[in-house]
A and B are shown apart, each in its own frame.
Chain A
Amino acid sequence: DAGVTQSPTHLIKTRGQHVTLRCSPISGHKSVSWYQQVLGQGPQFIFQYYEKEERGRGNFPDRFSARQFPNYSSELNVNALLLGDSALYLCASSLFRSWSSYEQYFGPGTRLTVT
């Protein structure tokens, strides 16, 4: 298995623009979560999707939105970019079978720079 893949790897955008980030989970994983990691900080939860339904949302403005497709891949969209949106955006896919059987893998992230 290729692991969790994210695209693009790097992205430079201008304030006010829109961006779409993509994530492909590990085969068999139906849950995808998105996190924002600012340099020197821990990841901050943005969204979780499971079976194409939003399961959780973090404390982010409505400029952030996401969706999950029938093949369980996911997109994160950010509108009206601000300088403060510059960060590493991480996608995690997971499979929960039981308390003793849980898998979670993060992708390498998309580094977004807003100028």
Chain B
Amino acid sequence: QKEVEQDPGPLSVPEGAIVSLNCTYSNSAFQYFMWYRQYSRKGPELLMYTYSSGNKEDGRFTAQVDKSSKYISLFIRDSQPSDSATYLCAMSGSNFGNEKLTFGTGTRLTIIP
């Protein structure tokens, strides 16, 4: 069993819809949770990072962490065609700044105009 599980999709939604992306994990030592966006043939781009359980909002993006369920989510409101990309979750159990991140496989998202 992988430490981090992420549905690879593909996921297609109409423009303007709310997108929900999720990851589950098995390692209870994970404390820091990140979401990345990766366009085709590009490196990942850090979107958001959170610590422990709770919510964090940044513009159209909201990250949620539920440590009791070992479940994290990224919500995208008012989705745009430019949001079409692969979304990766990642997590770490070490001190923040230590970059031994464990990534999910990524979910490929397409926003249909």
Contact = CB atoms under 8 A, between A and B. Distances in A.
Interface of A: 4, 31, 33, 40-45, 48, 55-56, 58, 90, 92, 94, 96, 99, 102, 104-109
The bracket for how many chain B residues form the interface is 20 to 34
A7 to B, nearest CB: 14
Contacts of B4: 42
B51 A42 contact: no
Given A41-B106, A45-B100, A106-B46, 14 more contacts: A31-B97, A40-B105, A41-B105, A42-B88, A43-B44, A43-B88, A43-B101, A48-B98, A48-B100, A55-B99, A90-B44, A92-B43, A107-B43, A108-B43
B43 A104 contact: no
A106 B90 CA distance: 14
A109 B45 CA distance: 12
Contacts of A94: 97, 99
Contacts of B102: 45
A40 B104 CA distance: 11
Contacts, number: 64
Contacts of A4: 43
B8 interface: yes
Nearest to B97: A96
Contacts of B106: 41-42
13 contacts: A33-B99, A42-B4, A42-B105, A42-B106, A43-B88, A45-B102, A55-B98, A55-B99, A92-B99, A99-B51, A105-B45, A106-B45, A109-B43
